[in-house]
Amino acid sequence: MSSKYDTNPLDPDFPEKARVAALEEGETQALPYNGATTQAFPRPAVTEEQTRRFTGTAKEGFIPPYQPYQAPSGPGQYTPGQYAPMGFAADLSISRKVQGLGMPENVLVAAPYFPWYLGMVAGILILLLVPKSETKVRFHAAQGLAAHIGILIVTTVLGLVGNVTGIAQAGNLVFQLVTTIMLLVFAYKAWKGRPVHIESVDSLTNWLDEKIDPKAIGK
């Protein structure tokens, strides 16, 4: 006997056989309705107040908001101390005393950049009196001295040419004004501990730092 589960698609009588098999086994029948009703779950018993109230008075059942835990203090109880946030410490290295002169470092690194030949004299004295171990101070002294030498050479040339033409004389005045402002800026930056590097006089700076040796004074 054929069954409704015979699913051979090559059989041309398959649809009829499936219908006959379904009639023999019986159609799907719906269960009879017994009249039962949907029942609701019982409500929970009311015990205490379910919602915390944050406004009102104590008589109305007011519950104060959460308070952070306070560790008890007393014998045998550890109470952590109050620590202030740590700030940034000031850089005191720029105001330390330099060997050889006993002056603050920030003053000695700024002095070689003073304009009007004051920096040139300061740079020579620092290189003659400060030992080689004070590399930072000696570098600024040599660089400031090298900058003054370069400015002196340019102003001398412009002064000589200015005797012939007025354009060179005007250019000399502008150059002196610009270099004076530049030296003041360098002096301020060095005094504040900021880096100052004049790349155009690197070779002369290294030569001056190497050749001007404070040990030569005692010989």
Distance CA 196, CA 207 (A): 18
- 175 within some domain: yes
- Mean per-residue pLDDT, 105-123: 93
- 198 within some domain: yes
Q: Which pLDDT does position 72 carry in this prediction?
A: 58
Q: pTM of the prediction?
A: 0.55
- 92 within some domain: no
- Mean per-residue pLDDT, 195-202: 93
**pLDDT tens column, 49-82:** 555 555 555 555 555 555 555 655 555 555 555 5
- 149 within some domain: yes
Please, what is the average pLDDT of the chain?
77
- 38 within some domain: no
Q: Which pLDDT does position 165 carry in this prediction?
A: 72
For residue 4, is pLDDT > 90? no
- 80 within some domain: no
Q: Which pLDDT does position 139 carry in this prediction?
A: 96
**pLDDT tens column, 138-155:** 999 999 999 999 999 998
**pLDDT tens column, 11-41:** 677 777 777 776 766 555 666 666 666 777 7
Q: Please indicate whether residue 43 or residue 27 has the higher confidence score (pLDDT).
A: 43
Q: Which pLDDT does position 89 carry in this prediction?
A: 44
Q: Which pLDDT does position 87 carry in this prediction?
A: 46
* CB-count burial class (<10 Å; 0-12, 13-18, 19+) for 218: exposed
Distance CA 64, CA 201 (A): 75
Q: Which residue type is seen at 208?
A: L
| pLDDT band at residue 126 using 50, 70 and 90 as cut-offs | very high
Q: Which pLDDT does position 88 carry in this prediction?
A: 44
- 118 within some domain: yes
Say how many C-beta atoms besides its own lie within 10 A of residue 103's C-beta: 14
Structural domain of 153: 105-213
Q: How many distinct structural domains can be found in the chain? A: 1
**pLDDT tens column, 156-169:** 888 888 777 777 77
Contact status, residue 141 vs residue 213, Cβ threshold 8 Å: no
Q: Which pLDDT does position 129 carry in this prediction?
A: 93
The helix (run of H) or strand (run of E) holding residue 208 is helix 202-211
Say how many C-beta atoms besides its own lie within 10 A of residue 195's C-beta: 6
Q: DSSP label at 50?
A: S
Q: Which pLDDT does position 195 carry in this prediction?
A: 93
CA 45 distance to own-chain centroid = 60
What are 97's strand-pairing partners?
A: 104
Long-range Cβ contacts of 106-109 (<8 Å, 24+ apart): 106/190, 106/191, 106/192, 106/193, 107/191, 108/137, 108/140, 108/141, 109/136, 109/137, 109/140, 109/141, 109/190, 109/191
- 180 within some domain: yes
